[in-house]
Amino acid sequence: MLSSPLRLARCISSLAYWCAHLLVLERAHERVGGASMVVSFPRRSFAYLTVRDRMPTILTRVIDTIHRNKNKFFEEYGEEGIQAEKQTISLLSKMRNELLTDKPLLELTDSLQDTESWNQYLQRQQKQQGDQDSVSWFKSPWLYVECYMYRRVQEALWLNPPISDYDVFNEGKTQSFFESQQAMMTLCTYVEGLNKNMEGLSKNQLLEHFNKLLQVSLWGNKCDLSISAGQDNSQKTSPIDSLDSLQPFILVNDSNRVWSALISPQRPGQSKETALVRVDIVLDNSGFELFTDLVLADFLVSSRLAHEIHFHGKSFPWFVSDVTANDFQWTIRQTTAANHKWMSKSGVQWMSHLKDGAWSYHDHPFWTQPHEFCDMEADAPDLYATLQGADLVLFKGDLNYRKLTGDREWDHTASFHTALRGFGPAPLCSLRTLKANVQVGLQPGQGERLGSQDPEWMTSGKYAVVQFDNAKSEQKD
Ligand SMILES: O=P(O)(O)OC[C@@]1(O)O[C@H](CO)[C@@H](O)[C@@H]1O
Ligand SMILES: [Mn+2]
C-alpha cells in the first residue's frame, strides 16, 4: 500500500501529466522548404502518441534495465557501481517527468564531442519558435525531441562512470538476434547455394538474386525495437519465401535504378570497365536487420558488383535497436560461432571482408544528431565528402527517411528529389518500412487509396519503399 505522501506525490504528478496534455497545441506549422514541419502535434497523431506513450515506455524500460543490473554493477565496480546506478536512474526519472509534463528541453551538461552542437541546435530551435513558448517535448518538432531523448539517455550514463559505456538496449538487440536464428539459417543456406554457382550466373540471374536480397534487407527493417517500444520484434518467417507475398506492399520500387547505379557507376574519371564500385550502407537496426544488410553486402562483394562496402553505424546506443560498433562486431562474431554450417561460413567470410579492407565500419557523430540530411553539407562537411566517394548510398529505415525528407508534411505526390532539398552526395536509395507520417513519390491518388483501405498505412510497418534518387542530376523522379 503506498504511503500517503507518496500517494499524494503520484496524484500531483498524474494531474500535472494530464494538464500538460490539455496544453497540447493544435498543429502549428513552420513553412520551411516548401512544406510544413510538424511543430506540435494534434491529439491522437502518431507523433503525439509516440511522445505521450511510446517514449515514456521506452524510458521506463531503460530505468528498469539499469535497476535489474544493479548487482552486476556492484560485482564489477563495488559501491561506486551502486552509486552510479542510483544516480543514472535519478537523472532518467527526472527526464521522464520533464517529458510527461511537457517541461522545456534542457542544455546538455556532459562534455562529449557533440555537446556543443546539440546545445547550439537547441538555441536555434528556440530562436525559430520565438519567445512565447520554450522548446519543449510537446511543442517542438517530433524528430528533434525524439532524437534529444536518446542523447539525454547517453548523457545520464556518461555522467556516471563506471557505467558510462553500458548499453541499456543491449539485451533487446541480442535477443532479437537469437530469436531470428531460423530465418538467419534459411538466409545463409540460400547464400551458400548462390555462392556455389556464382561464376556461372548470367547478368539476369545476378539481377534476380540482387532484387531478392535487396528486398530481404528492406523487410529486415520491420524488426525495429523503437516502434515496438522494446517488445520482441524478431523475424519469425522465412525471409526468402515471404518475398512474393510482400511484393504488393512495396509502394515505390526503384530497384531497377539501384541496379543501374551499380552496374554503370557515374563517378567522374571512372570507366565502366575499371570502376571499383563502392556502396555505402547507412545502417539502422541491429539483430535481424543488420544480418540482412551483411548478407546483401557479402553478395555485392562476392558477385563483384561492388568492391568496397562502407557501413555507417551509430556512435552510441540510439532508438533502442540501432547498430553500434559493438553490435556490428558482436553480430559477426556470433554468426561465425553459430552451430550452423552455412551461418558460420558466412561469418568467416564477413570477417575476411573486414580483414582485407573490402568492408569498413564508420560511426560519424552526425548520425546521432537531430539534423535533417539536407543540413549535412553545412554541418558535417567531412561526412558529406566521405559519402561523395560512394557510387551508391543505401539508407536503411524509417528514421533515416524522416531525416532525408525533413519529416515534413509533403504531399504524397511530391517527388523524392524535391523532398531531399538538395541533399545528394551520391546516387542514393532509401530502403524503408513505413513507420511515420511522411511519404513522398507516390502516384496521384495512391495515398488516398491506401488511406481508405488502411488508416494505419503510414505507421504500421506493413508497407515499404525502395526509393532512389540520382542526386547528381536534376532529373524528375
Ligand atoms: O529507423 P527505424 O528503426 O526504421 O524506425 C525507428 C522509429 O520506429 O522510431 C520512431 C518511433 O519511435 C519512428 O518514427 C521511427 O520510424
Ligand atoms: Mn532504428
> How buried is 254 (Cβ within 10 angstroms: 0-12 exposed, 13-18 middle, 19+ buried)?
buried
pLDDT number for residue 8: 46
Q: What would the mean pLDDT of 191-209 be, rounded to a whole number?
A: 94
pLDDT number for residue 290: 98
Q: Pick the residue whose CA is nearest to atom 5 on ligand 1.
A: 398
Residue 222 CA, ligand 1 centroid: distance in Å: 10
In the 8-state DSSP scheme, what is residue 460? S
Cα-based distances in Å from 308 to 143, 151, 206, 301 = 32, 31, 18, 7
Contact in structure between 424 and 392 (CB atoms under 8 Å): no
Q: What would the mean pLDDT of 402-416 be, rounded to a whole number?
A: 96
The confidence band for 6, taking pLDDT boundaries of 50, 70 and 90, is very low
Residue 368 CA, ligand 2 centroid: distance in Å: 11
Which residue out of 46, 144, 145, 227 has the highest number of ligand 1 atoms within 8 Å of its CB and is therefore the one to mutate? 227
Residue 227 CA, ligand 1 centroid: distance in Å: 5
pLDDT number for residue 456: 94
Ligand with minimal distance to 433 CA: 1
Residue from 273, 256, 258, 360 nearest 308 by CA: 360
DSSP 195-206: HHHGGG--HHHH
Residue 199 CA, ligand 1 centroid: distance in Å: 39
At residue 173, φ and ψ (nearest 5 deg) are: -70, -40
Which residue out of 57, 58, 218, 224 has the highest number of ligand 1 atoms within 8 Å of its CB and is therefore the one to mutate? 224
Say yes or no to pLDDT of 222 above 70: yes
Q: What would the mean pLDDT of 40-55 be, rounded to a whole number?
A: 81
Q: Which residues line ligand 1 (CB under 6 A)?
A: 50, 54, 146, 221, 224, 226-227, 284-285, 319, 397-399, 435-436
Say yes or no to pLDDT of 3 above 50: no
Q: Pick the residue whose CA is nearest to atom 11 on ligand 1.
A: 227
pLDDT number for residue 49: 87
* Cβ neighbours around 275 below 10 Å, total: 18
Say how far apart CA 206 and CA 446 lie, in whole Å: 31
Say yes or no to pLDDT of 247 above 50: yes
Say yes or no to pLDDT of 475 above 80: no
- Domain 3-158 sits in CATH at 1.20.930.60
The confidence band for 185, taking pLDDT boundaries of 50, 70 and 90, is very high
Which residue out of 52, 290, 398, 431 has the highest number of ligand 1 atoms within 8 Å of its CB and is therefore the one to mutate? 398
List CB-based neighbours of ion ligand 2 within 5 Å.
224, 284-285, 319, 322
The confidence band for 36, taking pLDDT boundaries of 50, 70 and 90, is low
In the 8-state DSSP scheme, what is residue 396? E
The confidence band for 366, taking pLDDT boundaries of 50, 70 and 90, is very high
Q: Pick the residue whose CA is nearest to atom 3 on ligand 1.
A: 224
Task: Identify the H or E element spanning 434.
Answer: none
Residue 356 CA, ligand 1 centroid: distance in Å: 34
Residue 225 CA, ligand 1 centroid: distance in Å: 8
Ligand 1: atom nearest CA of 285 is 3
Ligand 1: atom nearest CA of 322 is 3
pLDDT number for residue 25: 36
Name residues whose C-beta falls within 8 Å of residue 107's C-beta, 6 or more positions apart in sequence: 118, 119, 122
Residue 284 CA, ligand 1 centroid: distance in Å: 9
Ligand 1: atom nearest CA of 399 is 1
pLDDT number for residue 238: 74
Say yes or no to pLDDT of 267 above 50: yes
pLDDT in tens, 453-474: 999 999 999 999 999 999 765 4
Ligand with minimal distance to 402 CA: 1
Say how far apart CA 404 and CA 425 lie, in whole Å: 12
Ligand 1: atom nearest CA of 397 is 4
Residue 276 CA, ligand 1 centroid: distance in Å: 34
pLDDT number for residue 443: 98
pLDDT number for residue 386: 98
The confidence band for 32, taking pLDDT boundaries of 50, 70 and 90, is very low
Ligand 1: atom nearest CA of 224 is 3
**Average pLDDT for the chain:** 89
Say yes or no to pLDDT of 273 above 90: no
Residue 132 CA, ligand 2 centroid: distance in Å: 34
- Domain 170-476 sits in CATH at 3.40.50.10880
Say how far apart CA 457 and CA 450 lie, in whole Å: 6
User: Which one-letter amino acid corresponds to residue 173?
Assistant: K
Least confident of 36-45, 150-159, 277-286: 36-45
pLDDT number for residue 2: 41
The confidence band for 24, taking pLDDT boundaries of 50, 70 and 90, is very low
Say yes or no to pLDDT of 19 above 60: no
Q: Pick the residue whose CA is nearest to atom 14 on ligand 1.
A: 436
Question: Grid cell 522545456 — which residue?
Answer: 104
Ligand 1: atom nearest CA of 401 is 1
pLDDT number for residue 471: 74
* Residue 285 backbone zone (phi > 0: left; psi -120 to 50: alpha; other: beta): beta
Strands 29-32 and 35-38: antiparallel
Say how far apart CA 244 and CA 185 lie, in whole Å: 20
Ligand with minimal distance to 404 CA: 1
Asked if the domains 3-158 and 170-476 are classified in one and the same CATH topology, the answer is no
Ligand 1: atom nearest CA of 142 is 14
pLDDT in tens, 281-339: 999 999 999 999 999 999 999 999 999 999 999 999 999 999 999 999 999 999 999 99
> How buried is 28 (Cβ within 10 angstroms: 0-12 exposed, 13-18 middle, 19+ buried)?
middle
Q: Which three cell numbers stand for residue 434?
A: 513505413
Q: What would the mean pLDDT of 123-139 be, rounded to a whole number?
A: 93
Contact in structure between 370 and 144 (CB atoms under 8 Å): yes
Contact in structure between 51 and 41 (CB atoms under 8 Å): yes
* Cβ neighbours around 315 below 10 Å, total: 18
For the chain, how big is the Rg over CA atoms in Å? Answer: 23
Predicted TM-score (pTM) of this structure: 0.91
pLDDT number for residue 270: 66
Map out the domains of the chain as residue ranges.
Answer: 3-158, 170-476
Least confident of 4-8, 315-319, 406-410: 4-8
Cα-based distances in Å from 67 to 158, 225, 294 = 17, 20, 34
Residue 287 CA, ligand 2 centroid: distance in Å: 11
The confidence band for 243, taking pLDDT boundaries of 50, 70 and 90, is very high
pLDDT number for residue 230: 72
Say how far apart CA 213 and CA 187 lie, in whole Å: 9
Ligand with minimal distance to 286 CA: 2
pLDDT number for residue 42: 65
Q: What would the mean pLDDT of 85-104 be, rounded to a whole number?
A: 97
ipTM of predicted complex: 0.96
Residue 314 pairs in a beta bridge with: 324
Dihedral sign (CA 239, 244, 248, 252):
positive
Residue 396 pairs in a beta bridge with: 431
Share of the chain above pLDDT 70, in %: 86
Residue 30 CA, ligand 1 centroid: distance in Å: 23
Say how far apart CA 420 and CA 401 lie, in whole Å: 10
pLDDT number for residue 227: 67
Cα-based distances in Å from 135 to 138, 165, 240 = 9, 29, 46
Say yes or no to pLDDT of 15 above 50: no
